[in-house]
Amino acid sequence: MDEQRQLIGFMQSRKVSGAPEMIRSLIDTLDLHDRSWVAHVDDEDIPPETLQATAFIVTAGGDGTILRVNRLVSPYSVPIVGINMGRVGFMAELTVENAAERLPQYLAGDVRTEERLMLQAEVTAQSNGETRIVDHALNEAIVRGTLPRLLDVEVTIDGVRLATYRADGVIVSTPTGSTGYALSAGGPVLQPESKVLLIQPLAAHISLQTGLVVPDNCTVELAVVGSREALISVDNLTNATLHPDDKVVIRKSPHIASFLRADPPSAFYSTLTQRLGVSHRTSHDEQ
């Protein structure tokens, strides 16, 4: 463990029943009173010096809790250890039942660091180049209509026009986000440490309907054609109306989401099938 980073942070969601009690129990059981701090995910006034002195942060909640915590801590390169108390929990490695037993392995440093790509979304006026929104996402940025109507969204990759999607919207997703909204839109699942972005239309009508995977060094631009109202959603944490003159520029973020993992990278595949409720069959099952 880094000598400059000795604190252990615990962050919880106010919406998750039982999270405060579980965190108190972990601090008691592991005797972390003198080297831990506790906060809620919507606490934005945690001192920078506290984050800079933190070895890792334990989250108690679901994937939404991790998204909120990551937004706060990724600029400080603080890794996350997730305890799943939500419905799906693709990003969390621990459970309520095994957290007390397994956390000592993380405290001892007998784990690996998993780094995940994030994306940066900028909203810029096409007329004067003025940027009015810059945000970072671990999951995705989405351009969609404010009403349930089809939009025409022009997609450009590295200055080359790809297509104008006539769809409910367009998702640009990281590999982490591929198991979220993009998956429900028919997109592929991407290995979480891969260095790619996914462009996935939402209910595309007639036009190119499949998703497209591009390298993470590409710049993707989205522009709504016509005067229909649209908005941008970044990890569903920032939601803003787009002006008719706006374009959304998406590229790899300078920030990286870090997770501490005791399980090997291949554990992602078994976690994936478990979370999605995919049953396992062997040739013996058919006999």
Residue whose C-alpha is closest to residue 203's, from 173, 170, 174, 230:
170
Q: Which amino acid does the sequence have at 148?
A: P
* SS3 at position 73: helix
Q: How far apart are the first and last CA of the chain?
A: 52
Give yes or no: 285 in active site.
Answer: no
* SS3 at position 225: strand
Q: Helix 19-29 crosses helix 99-107 at what angle (to 10 degrees)?
A: 50
Residue whose C-alpha is closest to residue 141's, from 117, 174, 165, 185:
174
Alpha-carbon distance 244 to 247, whole Å? 9
CA 1 to chain centre: 25
Q: What is the DSSP letter of 205?
A: -
**Would you tell me how many other CB atoms lie within 10 Å of the CB of residue 173?**
29
Q: Of 28, 34, 63, 110, which is the active-site residue?
A: 63
Residues with catalytic annotation? 63
